[in-house]
């Protein structure tokens, strides 16, 4: 993520290049800022294309998968504890709004494949949770 130039670097290169050398200077300065990162990412993509198929890399990925599942489950448990008010031992606060959003998402997640005969899009679930989060928590 840090290997590509951000919008500020690109805008500055374009601005300075244009102010010093007109449109051609702006284009050359912008290309000069973008090109090194582009070449590095392109070379990494070519190298990784071959590495991804290797047995050691596949073994690493197969080892990481259970860790990722564990992290997701752990995060879910933390959210669940927060939902039912178990975030600390001194107070118990039940957040019914979060439970309502969870119930709506669960219904959509399990009913959608039965109705439409295809898996539910994660983007749909995110959009629904954002909508109900705004509606329920803005009041």
pLDDT in tens, 51-96: 888 999 999 999 999 999 999 999 988 877 777 766 665 666 777 8
- Both 13 and 42 in one domain: the answer is yes
The predicted pLDDT at position 109 comes to: 95
Indicate whether 131 pLDDT > 60. Answer: yes
Residue 14: give the domain boundaries: 1-53
Give the whole-angstrom CA distance, residue 81 versus residue 14. Answer: 50
- Both 104 and 86 in one domain: the answer is no
Domain tally, the chain = 3
Give the whole-angstrom CA distance, residue 58 versus residue 66. Answer: 14
pLDDT tens digits, 31-52: 999 999 999 999 999 998 888 8
Give the whole-angstrom CA distance, residue 6 versus residue 106. Answer: 38
C-alpha distances (whole Å) from 65 to each of 58, 60, 62, 68, 87 are 11, 9, 5, 5, 28
Task: Tell me what percent of the residues of the chain surpass a pLDDT of 90.
Answer: 65
Total residues found in the chain within this entry: 139
């Amino acid at each position: 993520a840090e290997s590509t130039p951000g919008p500020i670097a690109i805008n500055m290169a374009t601005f300075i290049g244009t102010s010093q050398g007109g449109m051609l200077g702006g284009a050359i300065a912008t290309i000069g800022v973008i090109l090194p990162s582009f070449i590095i990412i392109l070379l990494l993509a070519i190298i990784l294309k071959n590495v991804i198929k290797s047995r050691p890399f596949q073994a690493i990925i197969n080892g990481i998968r259970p860790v990722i599942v564990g992290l997701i489950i752990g995060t879910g448990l933390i959210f669940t504890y927060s939902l039912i008010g178990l975030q600390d031992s001194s107070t118990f606060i039940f957040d019914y709004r979060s439970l309502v959003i969870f119930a709506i998402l669960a219904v959509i997640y399990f009913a959608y494949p039965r109705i439409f005969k295809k898996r539910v899009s994660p983007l749909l679930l995110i959009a629904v949770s954002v909508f109900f989060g705004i509606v329920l928590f803005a009041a």
